[in-house]
Amino acid sequence: MKEGKPATIKEIAKRLKISPSTVSRALNDHPSIGLVTTMRVKKVAAELNYEPNQTAIFFKQRKTFTIGVVLPSLSEPFFSAAISEIENVASARNYTVIMGQSLDDADREMRILQTLKTHRVDGVLMSISKNTQSYPFIELMESAGIPVVFFDCVPDLEHIHKVYCDLETGMLEAIDRFASCGHRAISLINGPAFLPASMEREKAYKKGLAEHDISFKEEYVVNTDLTTEGNEAAVLQLLALPDRPSAVISFNDYVALDVMKAVRKRGIALNQDIHFISYANYPLWKYMENPPLASIEQFPGDQGRKAAELLFKLMDSAERPEPTRIIFHSRLVNPG
């Protein structure tokens, strides 16, 4: 054997004067091989620093023991919690997780998925970007036989597997909290209008107002593209109203952080002149001097774990399962 070159089954067989097939079976503890032979084979394999040829194993088993995870941003605490649970599930199955972040770029998202397909991952977990309005990657993955489970931000389609949080419950509880504190001028800073999650929030917002006999005012609903500039522009639009709102529900905690900063810069007292509730329950709220009045928990860890468990179930299935929908119910909690 040349120095630096990996040992092979043939070299072990030659050293022991037995067939390569016997060596292979002994390394895999096949019952047809006696204990003495198995021990001899493993001893020589250790001496030669033999390592199994993973490529050959993958080819034989038709698996790569990898899954892909595609998210808008790996740095967000929400997705960090989801990733931790996903990796726990994957690790228990001896799988490796390959991460990709779309950065809310639909083209980048598609390129990541094409790369995952090329590398023959066994399955994909995905939360779509805020700018994704079509889903050609679904057919791309289906044609390659790669199951996909969407979670958190999911396409508004019926024929897919998805795990997500019902946003209505938390919204209704948020409006109830504001109304119980005497607020009647309650506004919504929503995400991009075309996002299913934005549509769900606005529908629930209108329902919550109606339940408290509060008239819906179109000018109290503003949309943001979720950039810092867009978030600031959204709250300034509300502050410019003759009858500005005293309470604001934000699309998520990052929107809340931007708009609260913009409000402070204009000398408006947080939690006095204007109050906030936002989605996602940012873990660092408890360290801040003026956190929102409350937060809407969306259970990212639970979503990530359930999505991963569902993906492995699909990967293990010999048949094509019916579309699966797993729903968590958002709820109002104290921030942090």
How many other C-beta atoms can be found within 10 angstroms of the C-beta atom of residue 69? 29
pLDDT band at residue 148 under the 50/70/90 scheme? very high
Please indicate, yes or no, whether residues 206 and 277 belong to a single structural domain of this protein: yes
The single residue listed with the structure tokens 């799988």 is 95
Question: Does 276 score more than 80 pLDDT?
Answer: yes
Q: pTM of the predicted model, to two decimals?
A: 0.78
Please indicate, yes or no, whether residues 160 and 113 belong to a single structural domain of this protein: yes
By residue range, what is the domain housing residue 88? 64-165+301-315
* 3-state class (DSSP) for residue 101: strand
Please indicate, yes or no, whether residues 26 and 132 belong to a single structural domain of this protein: no
Task: Decide if 331 is inside a domain.
Answer: no
Please indicate, yes or no, whether residues 18 and 68 belong to a single structural domain of this protein: no
Please indicate, yes or no, whether residues 77 and 198 belong to a single structural domain of this protein: no
pLDDT, one tens digit per residue, over 214-233 is 999 999 999 999 999 999 99
Task: Decide if 21 is inside a domain.
Answer: yes
Task: Decide if 173 is inside a domain.
Answer: yes
3-state SS track over 129-158 = CCCCCCCHHHHHHHHCCCCEEEECCCCCCC
Beta strands per DSSP E along the chain:
66-71, 96-101, 123-126, 148-151, 161-166, 186-190, 221-223, 247-250, 275-279, 294-297, 325-329, 331-333
> Between residues 286 and 208, which one has the greater pLDDT?
208
> Domain of 180: which CATH number?
3.40.50.2300
Please indicate, yes or no, whether residues 274 and 206 belong to a single structural domain of this protein: yes
Q: What is the pLDDT of residue 57?
A: 54
**Helices 228-239 and 253-265 meet at what angle, rounded to 10?**
60
Task: Decide if 322 is inside a domain.
Answer: no
Please indicate, yes or no, whether residues 140 and 175 belong to a single structural domain of this protein: no
Please indicate, yes or no, whether residues 178 and 274 belong to a single structural domain of this protein: yes
Please indicate, yes or no, whether residues 243 and 268 belong to a single structural domain of this protein: yes
**Helices 196-211 and 168-180 meet at what angle, rounded to 10?**
40
Question: Does 6 score more than 90 pLDDT?
Answer: no
Q: How many domains does the chain have?
A: 3
125 within 8 A of 69, measured Cβ to Cβ: yes
Task: Decide if 328 is inside a domain.
Answer: no
Please indicate, yes or no, whether residues 143 and 237 belong to a single structural domain of this protein: no
Question: Does 60 score more than 60 pLDDT?
Answer: no
Please indicate, yes or no, whether residues 76 and 154 belong to a single structural domain of this protein: yes
